[in-house]
Structure 1
C-alpha cells in the first residue's frame, strides 16, 4: 500500500546581510598622477624639441663620428712587360701589420703604479724599456715578433708611446702571415690591404726597371720615369657602418678611382737574359769593376736589350746598394777610344777630304803632331781606308782628321748623337762630353780622332753605330713600345754610311783586331776600342775595353755596343774582353729574331750601297 507523503514546508531562514561599500576614488591621487604624466610628456616633448630643433647638428655629428667611415678602393700599380708580353714587374696584394698602443694598454688594464713599475730607463741612452712580465712571458707576443721578424723589444717600445694610436709593425706582409696573426687574437693588432711590387726577372732587369718604395712610389729607373702613368689613383667612398663594421649605406664617392696604366717595353726578355748572362760572365772572368751592353734594332731605334753589371735583386731589399742600382748604360761615360774611327772616316768622306779608294801612307808607323808623337803598334806602311779600320791605325786616322776643320769633325760626331742625350726619356741619362772650342791644336784634333778628349755612354755608342747600319738614318731611341711606326731623319748620306759599314767588316777577319767578334753564318762589321782611363794630371793604368758592331753587314738589323770597365790582367784589349760578349749576344739576337744568314758571295760595295 502506497502511502502518499505530504511534502513538508521549506524552512525559511531569515538573514540580514550588511552591504560593504569601498571608497576607492581619491581626487588627490588622480590629480598627482595626471600632473606627473603631463610633466613627463612635457619633458619628453621639450627634449624632443631640443634635439630636433635646437641642437640637431651636435647629435648628428656624434652619430656620424660613430658610423661614417671613408673606405679606400686601392688601384694597384700597373704592370710592366716586355715586347712579347712577358711580365717584368707586377703588383700583388700585400698587407701592413699595425698596432694601436692605446688598445693594447686598455686590454692590459694596468694601474698607474703597474705601468710605472714596468718601465726601466737606460741610464746611458735615456731610452725607456717596457719590462712588464706579462708581456714578455706571454707566448703570443713572442710568436708575433718571430713571424714578423721584428725584435720584441721594438714592439714593446711602440706600444708605450704616449697618446699613440697607430704604428706600423711590418709592411709588405703576405696573406698566410696575416691569417696566422689573426689566430693569435692579440689586442690592438690589425692589418690593412696594400700593394707589393714583385719583379719576376730579378737582377736581370733591375737596373732599367728600377724599383718602388713601400708606398708603391717609383724611386728609380722606369718605375720613377713613368711613375704617374703606372701609379693610377685609388678611389675613396664615404659609407655608413654598423657597430660590427658592416657597410649598411653608401653615402657618396669622395674620389674617383683611376686605373693604372700598363707599360710594354721594347725589351726582348730572351735577348736581355743572354746579354746579362754574358756580360756578368765577362766582368767576373776579367776581374773588371763593371760593364754594360745595349742592343738596338737598326730599323726603328727600339732597344732589345740593355744590361748592366753589377746588379741586384729588387725583390730582396737587403741587397740594395746605390752603386748596384745605377743604369750604367746611360749614366756612366767613358772615352770611346778607337770605336769613333769609323765616324772620322765618314766625316772625311762627307767633307770630300778623301775617297773610298785612297791609300794613306802611315810610314814609319808614327808621326809628330804639335810637338808630340802619335804612333801605331806596327808600321803598316801604305794602307787603304778599310785597313786603317782593320788595323786600328792611329797614324792613318789622324792624317784624315787633320785634313778636316775642327767644326767639321765636331758636326759629324754630333750628327751621330755624341754630346747629346739620346731622347730615351729615362732619368739619370748623361749627355757625355763633346768639347766645343773655337781653337784646337793639331794634337787635340788628332787624339780626338781616336777617341780621346770626348766621352760617351754605351747607349750613345750603340746609337751611333745604328745610324751607320741604317744608311745614315737617325731613328728616335725608344725603350717603350709604341704602336706608331718610328720616323727617321737622314743625318749623313746613305752611300757613305753603308760604305763605312763595308770597310768595318775587315775588323773581324784574319788580321783584324776582333777575330773573337765573328758569328758563324753572318758577316760582322764592327770596331774595337781600348782606351786608358783618365786620372788627375793625365792617364792611369786602368783601361776601358769597348766593342761596337753591326750585323748582318749586308742587310744590318742590330747594332750592339759592349763596355767592360777596368779589366785586369794581361788580356785587357777589347778584342779579347768585349768582342766575345758581342759575338754571343749578336748570335742570340739574330737567331731569336729569325734573321737569315748572309750570302757569303754577296759583295758590299759602293755601287750596291747606292
Structure 2
C-alpha cells in the first residue's frame, strides 16, 4: 500500500514538473514566434538605424564663376569608451591619437575612462586631407604608421570613428570678406551674403531609416525610407574678383599711406546699378573670422554714416539747376572766404570773390554753395535730396546697410540749409553717394544698386535673378549732362580740387569732399577741429559714363611738429586712390576713352 502511494506521488510530481516545463516552453514559443508589442518595441528600437544626412551648403561665386565660398569634406574624430574598454586597447588608442592630433594623452585617457558612454569627441572639424593615414574599418579605423626606415604598418584602432561634419571654406581668404560674410560652425549664415542668402545656400536635410546588425552596420536590404538630401543653391554675385582685388589693395594702401583709421570704396556700373567691387579696410580672413575684432568685420561701405562734405554739393547744385534757381553763369559773392549768416561764420579753404556757379563747383566753395542752397529754400533742398534717396536704405542685398540721417525741415535751424548744401548736418553712406553720382552720370536716371546677380539650384533652375531696375529720375537729362561737364572741370581743369584723380587718356568727372567729424555729445558736441572724413566720388569717361567710383577715408592725415595737420583733404587722399582703381578698371573691362566697350550688359530699356 505504501509503495502504491509513493508511486502515485512521484507520478503527480512528474506531471507537475512536466506541466511547468510545458508552460515555460509554450511561453518561450509564444514570445519568439508571436511576441507581444511591449517585447518587440525595445528590441526594434535597439536595431533601428536612422540618419538625417544634410546636403552641402551652396557655393558663392563672383560674376565670372570664381569660387568664393564652398563646403569642404571634414570629420569629427570620436571614440566609443565602452566598446574600447570591452574589446579594444585604450593605451594604443591614446598613444596614436595623441601622436596624430597633438592632443595630450591625459586628455584622451580622461574621455576613455568614461566607460559608461559610447560617444566622446576627440577632435572636431578635421579636414579630409588631414586624415589620409586613417582608413575606415568595421567598428574602428586602420591607422598607417611609418617607421624610420619608411616601412608602413597598419594599427587597428578599435572603437575609433569618423563622423562627417563639412566645414565652410573660403578659398580667397580675405577677398570680398565684407560682402561674402561667413557661416558659423553649425552651418548658419552669420554675416554678409552668407547671412542674407542663408535660406538658399543651406542644404536640405534627407532621411534614411533602416536596421543595423550586431556590429551596428546598416542592413541595406532593410532600408524602408531613403529621402536623399539636397545641396544648397549657388549664389552668383555682381562683383568681379580681379577688380575687387585691386580695389582692396588700393584702399589698404590709402589707409596706411595717409595714416587713416579706416578706408573704403565702391565701384558701380553706371547703367545697370551692379556693384562691381566693394571694399573696406581693416579687413579679415573669412577662414579665421572668430579671431577678428568686431570692428574689422564691419562693412563700412554700407554701414558707416558720415557727413559727406563737398561731395553733396553735386546733388544740391544739380537740383538748383534743375529747378531753374540758378544757371552755370550766375555769379555769387564768395566773400573772400569768410561769411557770417545767422550769427555763425562760414569759411572757404581758399578765399574767392565773385565767381560763377561753374567755378563754385570747380573750386568747391562752401560759401557759394551755401548761398545757392539758401536761394533754393529749405523745402526744395529737402525734396531734391530725397529724390536721390538720401535718408533711405537701398536694400543692396547685404545685411547691415544703414539709411543715413536726414531730418525733415521742421527740425532744421536757421543755418541748416546752408550747412546741408555743403554736406554737413546730413549723414550718408558711401553707397548713397556713389548712387547719387551715378544718377548724374547716367543722364539723370538712378538705378537700383545690387550685389546678387542670380541664385541657381543644383538642377539648374534659376530661383532668383536681379536685373537692372530704375529707382527714379531725380534730375532731367539736360541738367545731368550740364552737371557732367561741370564736374569734369573739377578734375580736368587747372585749379580744380580733383586734379589728382585724372586718368591718362580719359575725361573724368567728380567731386572732392572733406568734412570735419562730429564730436560726440559726451565730449561736448559740435565738430572736431582736426579730425576729418575725406572722400572723392567720380565717373568716367564723361563722354559716355560707364563706371562710378567712391573712395572714403576716416580721419586721415599727419601732424607736424607744430601740431598742424596735413594730408587730409579729399582730393589729396582719395583722388589718387580713385585714379589707381580707375586706371586698372578701364584696362581690365576694356572701356574705350569714349565709353564704347564694356562687358556688362545695359538695362533692358536702353
Instruction: Give the match for residue 100 of structure 2.
Output: 147
Residue deviations 1:389-428 (CA, integer Å, cap 9, x gap): 1101011101100012212111222211211111213211
Within 5 A, what are the aligned runs for 1:85-164?
85-104=65-84, 106=86, 138=91, 140-159=93-112, 164=117
Give the match's secondary structure for 1:238. Answer: strand
Using the TM superposition, name which of 341-350 and 261-270 deviates more: 341-350
- The separation in 2 between residues aligned to 1:533 and 1:225, in whole angstroms, is 31
How many residue pairs get matched? 544
RMSD: 2.9
The answer as to 2:192 corresponding to 1:192 is no
Provide the C-alpha distance between the structure 2 equivalents of 1:47 and 1:479, rounded to a whole number of angstroms: 71
Tell me what 1:178 maps to: 131
Deviations 1:307-330 (A, max 9, x none): 111111112356332121111111
Q: Describe the superposition over 1:517-567 as per-residue Cα deviations: whole angstroms up to 9, x where unpaired.
A: 111111111011111111132222221111111111111111111111111
1 CA distance for matches of 2:53 and 2:172? 29
Structure 2 equivalent of residue 222 of structure 1:
193
* Pick aligned residue for 2:488 from 505, 508, 517: 505
Does the residue aligned with 1:204 lie in a helix, a strand or coil?
coil
Tell me the distance in 2 between the aligned counterparts of 1:94 and 1:57: 41
1:284 Cα deviation from its structure 2 partner: 1.2
Contact 1:241 1:249 in 2 (8 A): no
Tell me how far apart the structure 2 counterparts of residues 370 and 252 of structure 1 sit (CA, whole Å): 83
Whether 2:53 is the aligned partner of 1:82: answer: no
Q: Secondary structure at the match of 2:125?
A: strand
Report runs of 4+ in structure 1 exceeding 6 Å deviation: 32-42
Q: How many Å separate the matches in 2 of 1:100 and 1:46? A: 37
1:64 aligns with 2:44: yes
Q: 1:317 to 1:561 in 2, by over 3 A?
A: closer
Which residue of structure 1 aligns with residue 30 of structure 2?
49
1:359 corresponds to which residue? 331
Does residue 544 of the first structure (1) align with residue 540 of the second (2)? no
Distance 2:26 2:382 in 1: 95
Partner of 1:533: 517
CA contact (8 A) 2:453 2:467 kept: no
**Structure-2 change in CA distance of 1:293 and 1:382 (3 Å):** same
Matches within 5 A, 1:267-278: 267-278=239-250
Structure 1: stretches of 5+ with no match in the other structure: 1-31, 110-134, 600-610
Give 1:343 deviation, angstroms.
Answer: 0.7
What SS does structure 2 have at the residue aligned with 1:169?
Answer: strand
How far 1:156 moved relative to its partner? 4.5
The answer as to 2:506 corresponding to 1:522 is yes
Alpha-carbon distance change, 149 to 409 in structure 1, aligned in 2, over 3 angstroms: farther
Q: How many angstroms does 1:187 deviate by?
A: 5.1
Aligned: 1:231 with 2:219: no
In the alignment, which of 554, 557, 561 is matched to residue 565 of structure 1? 554
Q: What CA distance in whole angstroms lies between the structure 2 residues aligned with 1:144 and 1:395?
A: 74
Displacement of 1:159 in angstroms is: 4.5
The residue number in structure 2 matching 1:8 is: none
Aligned counterparts of 2:396 and 2:116: Cα–Cα separation in 1: 50
In structure 1, C-alpha distance between the alignment counterparts of 2:31 and 2:48, rounded to whole Å: 24
Which is higher, the Rg of structure 1 or of structure 2?
Answer: 1
State the alpha-carbon separation in 2 of the partners of residues 162 and 561 from structure 1. 63
Matches within 5 A, 1:151-550: 151-159=104-112, 164-180=117-133, 182=141, 183=143, 185-186=156-157, 188-244=159-215, 245-253=217-225, 257-317=229-289, 319-438=291-410, 440-482=412-454, 483=465, 485-488=467-470, 489-509=472-492, 510-536=494-520, 537-540=525-528, 541-550=530-539
Aligned counterpart, 2:147: none
Report if the CA contact (8 A) 1:349-1:355 is conserved: yes
1:485-534 superposed Cα distances (whole Å, 9 cap, x missing partner):
32313232121122112100111122111211111111111011111111
Residue ranges of structure 2 left out of the alignment (5+ in a row): 1-12, 135-140, 144-154, 455-464, 559-565, 596-606
SS in 1 for 2:568: coil
How far did residue 178 of structure 1 move? 3.2
TM-score under structure 1 normalisation? 0.83
User: Normalising by the residue count of structure 2, what TM-score does the alignment of the two structures yield?
Assistant: 0.83
